[in-house]
Chains A and B, each alone.
Chain A
Amino acid sequence: AQSVTQLGSHVSVSEGALVLLRCNYSSSVPPYLFWYVQYPNQGLQLLLKYTSAATLVKGINGFEAEFKKSETSFHLTKPSAHMSDAAEYFCAVSDSGSGGYNKLIFGAGTRLAVHP
């Protein structure tokens, strides 16, 4: 069965610093992988997704993630953090045995704090 592990439930960075949020997956088949962001009092919004095309995926708001099969990782990065990036970030893997619709298995989430 697919699973996702996000290392670090809380990450704190300074404004302008590199953001690195870690995600490792477990999957018996080539996975489809997603990063979602949740701002306070809002639902989840897709940042980017990997669907077996390019291994470096660019998303919204300057975020990108690289799929590394050898490391079973899909870490999220942003070169320079902005105060508005403070939110909770979720990595998810699609359960490919779900008969067509997208059954997402989510990680526990990483709360990103950005300080001046």
Chain B
Amino acid sequence: ETGVTQTPRHLVMGMTNKKSLKCEQHLGHNAMYWYKQSAKKPLELMFVYSLEERVENNSVPSRFSPECPNSSHLFLHLHTLQPEDSALYLCASSQVSGGTDTQYFGPGTRLTVL
């Protein structure tokens, strides 16, 4: 595997389910990001982990819970979601370099909440 991978690619869940999204980067980067991409809205940064420490939590509801067990893996745990949480969830990684670093994105997980 190369680059940034995300699993699953598609997920359908009910509002009472618990599920997790997984992201893995094979680039040796030290920062990882979760974004939400909804129709008709700009990409929203949700969480940032730098050196495995959460450094950004962009007012995301507690029904989204991130986990970064090491620099290569990032999870987004989901529980009791709402239909408006249906979106494409993108993971990205970068090598921190003072704001000029390129973020490399995975293909995303298309989430549908029924």
Report how far A51 CA is from B99 CA in the complex, Å: 9
A44-B90, A108-B42 are known contacts. Are A102 and B105 too (CB-CB below 8 A)? no
Q: Which residue of B lies closest to A102 (CB)?
A: B101
Report how far A32 CA is from B103 CA in the complex, Å: 13
The count of residues in chain A whose C-beta lies closer than 8 Å to any C-beta of chain B is 26
The segment from A11-19, A69-77, A93-101 that touches chain B is A93-101
Other-chain contact of A101, B41, B55, B90, B106 (Cβ < 8 Å) = B55
Judge if A113 is at the interface, Cβ distance under 8 Å. Answer: no
A98-B56, A103-B45 are known contacts. Are A43 and B90 too (CB-CB below 8 A)? yes
Of residues 32 through 62 on chain A, the ones whose CB sits less than 8 Å from some CB of chain B are: 32, 34, 36, 41-46, 49, 51
Which B residues lie at the A interface, using CB under 8 A? 4, 31, 41-43, 45, 48, 50, 55-56, 90, 92, 94, 96-108
